[in-house]
Copies of this chain bind each other. A is one copy, B any other.
Amino acid sequence: MPRRRSPRLSTGEMEILSMLWEHGPVTLSEAHAAMEQKIGYTTVQTRLNRLVDKSLVSRNSERPAKYEAAIAEHEVTAGHLDSLLERIGDVQVVPLIAHLVSRQKLTADEIGELEALIADARSADSGSKRTVARKKKGMQR
């Protein structure tokens, strides 16, 4: 029973996972190369193996063993977001999203997707238009 709950990952673990998501299955030396000499060879090894211990990364039995992420990117991001929201509590989603979209330029495609998302949300919201408590507290300034 794969009770894989989105785990909380450290930024270091995220760094490794990101690398694995970008470059597919890689050997240790490839992984090290992908990390761009930021950290030592055995450091990558250790981090990778610890992730294997946690079943977040798999390692096959080929001779130069290949490491591969065992958890999807969206699972992790969702997990992080969840933990963030849990901790913060009733955070205002809108300011958060505002921060997200202002942080970077979005492509027209992405904007289109977002519009679709909002449209969905609106249709799902059908009817419940009562109590819109004003709880904005100024995101900026």
Contacts and interface: CB of A to CB of B under 8 A. Distances in A.
A8 B94 CA distance: 21
A74 interface: yes
B141 A39 contact: yes
Given A22-B89, A87-B11, A141-B40, A125 B97 contact: no
Number of identical protomers: 2
Interface residues of A, number: 66
Contacts of A121: 101-102, 105-106, 111, 114
A4 interface: no
- A74, A89, A109, A111: residue with the most chain B Cβ atoms closer than 10 Å: A74
A118 interface: yes
A8 B104 CA distance: 20
Sorted nearest first, the 8 A-B pairs with minimum C-beta distance are A14-B87, A109-B132, A105-B130, A107-B132, A78-B99, A94-B113, A101-B121, A111-B122
